[in-house]
Amino acid sequence: MVGKSPKGGFAVHLSDRPDCAQTGSAVRQRIANPAELLSAVKALKPDILRGASDAQLSGFLSHASVRRIRRRKEILRQGEPADCGFIVLEGQVDVTFTDPDGNRVLAHLARPGEVLGEAELFSGLTCAASCACQPGALLLLFDAPLILRHIPAELLLRNLARIFHNRMIRDNSMHSVAMFYDAAERVRVHLLSMSSTDAPEVQISQNELAGFAGCSRQTVNRTLSQMRAEGIVEMGRGTIRVLDRQRLVEFRHGDSPLPSGSPFVARFRGSA
């Protein structure tokens, strides 16, 4: 059943395990309020559905499944096949990679509007990383036949290319940050990239942020403590909330050699 939650989101009462095999017509969850879901998806503007007409979106959504994940749950596992893709409607999904020696790194935080599993779904390859939902995340599930039935192949191909292009830009930018920015700057840049004006709170621990920034937890703690003292962020248990995005853009820690107006950081000015 799908309805409105007290916070204004969708309330979905389903199994915590989003079994992709259950997207078949016999067990597919129908949307109680299609217009409400269509409006929410259009507001998110997911790249994989970019350019689709209202009729195409409505057809796609009427056969998709919506799942609320009540507890932290792994939905894609590195090295295993993906039977379906996921569009994040609410909440956050952690994307992690484990190397052959067992070292695990938090590679990305997927937020509303992002799609996961589509590369593996259409390529037939196993998952390049693992994806785990934060509690309360809301997902839209789809399989390849469903999206191909409602989204024209030419449009879908262009959208997939756009997704991969944006990921290359993101990954190349993060490589540049890792190579040329000091630890405090890396913490700041990752906070900027993981948050937005509309979604200022990031569900991440200091240990995980240290993994992103490639520095020690102590460095993250010192940097965040200064930001908190200046009223730029506030910290909760496993969360960091940006209170003043413009000041985060301009933030300097100690004798950081990189100016806050450096080209990479400058791209966040428009969203501050």
Tell me the pLDDT tens digit for each residue of 173-221: 888 888 888 888 889 888 988 888 888 998 888 988 888 888 899 999 9
Structure tokens at 249: 């853009």
243 backbone dihedrals φ, ψ, rounded to 5°? -90, -35
User: For the ranges 48-62, 76-90, 125-139, 193-207, which has the lowest average pLDDT?
Assistant: 193-207
Percent pLDDT > 90 in the chain is 54
Residue 5 banded pLDDT, cuts 50, 70, 90:
very low
The residue with tokens 């400058």 is: 266
Which tokens go with 209? Answer: 């942020």
For strands 138-142 and 65-68, give the pairing. antiparallel
Amino acid 254: pLDDT: 52
Q: What is the mean pLDDT of residues 16-44?
A: 62
Ranges 31-35, 58-62, 138-142, 181-185: which has the least confidence: 31-35
Window from 14-18, 103-107, 218-222 with minimum mean pLDDT: 14-18
Contact criterion met (CB below 8 Å) for 130 and 74: yes
pTM: 0.75
- The mean pLDDT of the chain is 82
Angle of CA points 229, 234, 237, to nearest 5°: 130
Task: Determine the pLDDT at residue 252.
Answer: 61
Residue 236, CA distances (Å) to 94, 143, 152, 200 in order:
18, 37, 44, 13
What pLDDT, on a 0 to 100 scale, did the predictor assign at position 76? 96
Whole-Å CA distances, 264 to 72, 186, 201, 237: 33, 11, 21, 29
Q: Is pLDDT of 12 > 60?
A: no
pLDDT of 155: 97
Q: Which residue has the higher pLDDT, 144 or 35?
A: 144
Task: Assess whether pLDDT exceeds 90 at residue 240.
Answer: yes
